[in-house]
Amino acid sequence: MLRYLIVPVIIAFNATGAVPNFYQKQADQIGIDATKIYAIALANAGVNNEFGQYLPWPWSVTVDGHYYQFKTRGELFIYLKSQQRNNKVITYGIAGIPLKSQSSEELWQSLDVVYQIQFAGKKLKRINCSNLSQCLANYRRNNQQYKKIRLKNNHRLRVPPMTTQALNRIIAVVAKETGVEQALLHAIISRESAYKIYAKSQTGAMGLMQLMPGTARYLGLYKADYYNPYKNVKAGANYIKEQLVNFNGRLELALAAYNAGPGAVRKYGGIPPYKETKKYVPAVIGYYRYFKKKMG
């Protein structure tokens, strides 16, 4: 489930305490002081965990001076792919890798923790510095360009699909939490966004469930949550559930209300005579029957 924390980047440069063995092992392979690598990791992607420990988190990103933390490698990958054409200053991971025009395969590989440690270590090895603060300053000054590194004994990694198993799990969780059938959620998503997480319509509808900004706010979403797959799907599920209650379980009217608004359904005493809605309702019902049969 996508989750970001939006906070200003004010990170204390602190490398106190023992360096984890994982970092030490990578530093030994590169031939560089592990303390330097760990300090860079803390400075670029430090976060306090639930026990109050300050540790580096590899799936973090800084966008124009704001720090975001994602739960998984896959979630950060999806976000970075969506931002590659934006004119923003974006760095990510414990190495503070600049987001450029990396291919999907290169981007996915660069999110590997070992890759990030080696990326930082190999850059640090070329930098002259006498203390940790100077190392950090020089590292950031010389870290303007992305350049691939080769990992020893590393096979070519395939980018996993981000719109199949991961989203299926999210939809299954939401269905269980809200009581809305998985088949119906899949049907709405198929018609609304075709499983494109960052879909946005010309009218401003957003995400998998294509929520309008006003509807999203009504459902309790903050702006940062609009394209969060879990929160978007759950909000949409709650909305269709509300319409099913409003219209006594009549699916065709609930779907019409989802598309055109409950006020329009009440006004016309049924499916509104809107071209879009008249196409929308049978299309979703068709998907619903398909998924219901497929899921047993």
Active-site positions read 192
Contact 99, 84 (CB under 8 A): yes
Residues 203/192, Cβ–Cβ less than 8 Å: no
Note the Cα 42 to chain centre separation in Å.
22
Residue 210 half-sphere exposure toward CB, CA atoms < 13 A: 20
The Cα–Cα gap between 55 and 165 comes to 30
Token pair 């990510």 is found at: 92
Residues 6+ apart with CB under 8 A from 254: 240, 243, 244, 246, 247
Closest by CA position to 203, among listed 286, 274, 272: 274
